[in-house]
Structure 1
């Protein structure tokens, strides 16, 4: 398989096929004809369908961001690396999208003001079904042997447990006590886990053994961590400052704190405390993190994580064209970050 077989045009076709599969799934759910959603459960199927339509409308409105593209292409490329054929990895791409459809909604709930309404409660239940139970039913319906089906179910369960752990770390960790290692541990769960699931599941579907599956799982987790680091930086350079408003101990913030002398560190922590309610405090602290010297030292701290992702691919090998595209997936994740000078090979 040469480089062009799964180049940009082929990837766009694959993404369109996954979107078409999702649209078909939405129609079946709306009609109460998919995965055991039959008569008497039309309302449930309709709610799932509306939820997914809302999610994909949002994705399309945001445009082809690298993170959205990587959700779909990662499992296709891993399957292609193992077999030379990316296409059969499409079911895992659908599972990965379903997971993120659910997580995207649930992730915003702690920041929502006021008591949850009945409508919100219904959406929570729908999100849990879309991200947890619907993928399980899709796995059950795949035309594969029992051992592969069990392995795919195990990867999905592992992703949920690890992601919940990462999310809880994010909600409870305080900037004053956080370390770069503890922040990365949370990222390995919160964003790394679903990427690990997608890569490992695609490998399992391709017939990979335990050793290679573990390698692909590690690569997916590394890519997910880089995706989260990219989101951190994008939040700063766009001026949204959502992480500062939420009081989250992000990698750029904790890196800044480790670089400051004690007096300045106390000042930064005071700004961070004020940032939850003060736009000026958010802007000032963001400027500290985007300072050229701080940004360069942060890039140096991230560089080993990039090297690890590339190193895992070099170790795994496989179809040359797909492996090249997987390297580009890493570079595309970290190489489009304004304000952070990451050295991309």
Structure 2
């Protein structure tokens, strides 16, 4: 006989764990004793008031639950993932020129010093204290450090790349590291915790495939971020001369006269709203959009194909599919996702 009680949605199971992540972060901060009096408040301020990122808690919780049925054991991984984003967003705000003398209610220099502790030492302290076998702990630390290094490489590439001097493959390389590596790190660590994989298994377990899923999801999230900036009409990326995939695709695929015009508009984009508008119009031309959409659709399909193998017929896997679909809501024919998703 079927129960008349409605089944809890996987999102509800995940969001129910969020207070445990918050408490875990509080416990990590409580370990900073009186001898660290100058560091404790800025760290607290950064975690409480720093710029967060959608799904920073829920992604590792969903991956762990897809494998184990329970998101709870991944609380430390969710905390580590959130700490990375708090730190990265602080550095990003400064690099993009969005920070003045103060950042998150404290001097910008103080915030950046706290961000270094928040994104590096504090996550390593958390991983060092996890009650797992030592070989598994070493692999978790390696996952985190590889994600940190790859993301740093991608962020620097994003700052150095000039739209007129790179090709689309170079931009995708930046995206794989800047965003893809962080999502890959979160997914791989959660999968490693759920499976116990420590690098010694032959054949290896599913950790690498979960890492690839995270990388693809992160790249889709970056492409969605680029789209959100264009669709909002703020055109911050055009104003800043950022080498986004769509802009570089235009510059590398347009006929010579249109490329010349696009470069002229890009040179004026920092100061001229009309130039940004016209350049945006060139980026939206059908011959630019078709291959761009085809590439995004290929990533979308790959993410779903990975979940077909990694989390078939699983409610938490279905929630991850929704997450993938939400990142491509700008594709033609793709229904816009407006439902609330766990943060």
TM-score (norm 1): 0.85
Residue deviations 1:60-97 (CA, integer Å, cap 9, x gap): xxxxxxx603x222111211122122221121111111
Task: Indicate which of 281, 284, 293 corresponds to 1:287.
Answer: 281
Task: Indicate which of 288, 294, 298 corresponds to 1:300.
Answer: 294
Q: Could you tell me which residue of structure 2 aligns to residue 77 of structure 1? A: 62
Output the CA distance in 1 between the equivalents of 2:220 and 2:234.
20
Change (3 A) 1:114 1:215: closer
8 A contact 1:82–1:319 mirrored in 2? no
Residue deviations 1:100-156 (CA, integer Å, cap 9, x gap): 001111012223289978932221111011011111111111122211211111111
TM-score (norm 2): 0.86
> Which structure has the highest helix share of the two?
1
The CA RMSD over aligned residues, in Å, is 2.5
Return 5+ residue gaps in structure 1 as ranges.
Answer: 60-66
Change (3 A) 1:113 1:321: closer
Counting matched residue pairs gives 322
Output the CA distance in 2 between the equivalents of 1:97 and 1:220.
15
SS at match of 1:240: coil
Output the CA distance in 1 between the equivalents of 2:7 and 2:226.
32
Output the CA distance in 2 between the equivalents of 1:284 and 1:228.
23
Return 5+ residue gaps in structure 2 as ranges.
Answer: 1-5, 198-203, 337-343
SS at match of 1:211: coil
Q: Could you tell me which residue of structure 2 aligns to residue 226 of structure 1? A: 220
Q: Could you tell me which residue of structure 2 aligns to residue 326 of structure 1? A: 320
Output the CA distance in 2 between the equivalents of 1:295 and 1:17.
44
Change (3 A) 1:208 1:270: farther
Q: Could you tell me which residue of structure 2 aligns to residue 206 of structure 1? A: 194
Output the CA distance in 2 between the equivalents of 1:259 and 1:244.
18
Q: Could you tell me which residue of structure 1 aligns to residue 200 of structure 2? A: none
The 5-angstrom pairing of residues 1-345 of structure 1 reads: 4-22=7-25, 24-25=26-27, 29=29, 33-34=30-31, 37-55=32-50, 58-59=51-52, 68-69=54-55, 71-112=56-97, 119-209=107-197, 210-291=204-285, 294-317=288-311, 320-335=314-329, 337=330, 340-341=331-332, 343=334
Change (3 A) 1:330 1:182: same
Q: CA deviation at 1:342?
A: 6.1
SS at match of 2:266: helix
Output the CA distance in 2 between the equivalents of 1:72 and 1:317.
19
